[in-house]
Chains A and B, each alone.
Chain A
């Protein structure tokens, strides 16, 4: 990850900008369903590990003086699933999501044909090349 940031540093002009955009493991996704928030999801250990490693890589290149932070943060967006079967398919094949939090799927199964909204957070950082 630091290697990729160094490569980006080389590719950028002197006044260039680096933008990092990725899922936010500090704010795991959760569900809205039938007017309630019945639970969320567990992220895979490897996904949390990769996210932490990316955070450390960003910190490292700033500490080394390659980049300076312009701004950073996170935001939420919504994904709509038509029903529980479609959400199950996502959970089963996701490389980031390990499964439902305890009790979440049972609560969703009370109304399996209703649309389900997943709220997901992305984090971003905008850095100035030094």
Chain B
């Protein structure tokens, strides 16, 4: 049973644990990789990806959510995660930089 994780408004009730990563069995595509997460929100999945990945660039158009994620990054001492405000259509990350791109409820 997944816990209910409230991210943003109640409409965004999503699983609070790693059920998505486990059920889709994506660890081979994340471990040791440079990951681009599109639609990261406040970092709900980012914090599950970061311990596996070499680096994570997490992007979301919601400034408030990214601000919350950045605060959390500071509190967690995360060193391999960068949060940026931006749309998935124009992530401004440079070409050929990532091993994995994850659309997190955002396509």
Contact = CB atoms under 8 A, between A and B. Distances in A.
Interface of A: 1, 3-5, 7-8, 10-23, 54, 57-58, 75, 77-81, 89-90, 93-97, 117, 122, 124, 126
B107 A1 contact: yes
B52 interface: no
Given A17-B100, A77-B2, A94 B10 contact: yes
Interface stretch (B62-70, B71-79, B88-96): B88-96
Nearest to B97: A11
Interface of B: 1-4, 9-11, 13, 15, 19-20, 23-24, 26, 29, 36, 38, 87-91, 93-107
B89 A3 contact: yes
Contacts of B89: 3-4, 7
Contact of A96 (B11, B19, B88): B11
B102 A21 contact: yes
A11 B4 contact: no
B104 A21 contact: yes
21 contacts: A4-B107, A10-B96, A11-B93, A11-B98, A11-B101, A13-B99, A17-B99, A18-B103, A19-B103, A21-B20, A21-B24, A21-B102, A75-B24, A77-B19, A80-B3, A80-B4, A90-B11, A94-B10, A122-B23, A126-B24, A126-B26
Contact of A79 (B13, B88, B93): B13
A90 B8 CA distance: 12
A93 B10 contact: yes
A14 B9 CA distance: 37
A93 B90 CA distance: 29
A7 B29 contact: no
Contacts of A75: 23-24
Contacts of B15: 77, 79
A93 B8 CA distance: 11
A54 B105 CA distance: 11
A23 B104 CA distance: 10
A122 B15 CA distance: 11
A96 to B, nearest CB: 7
B99 A8 contact: no
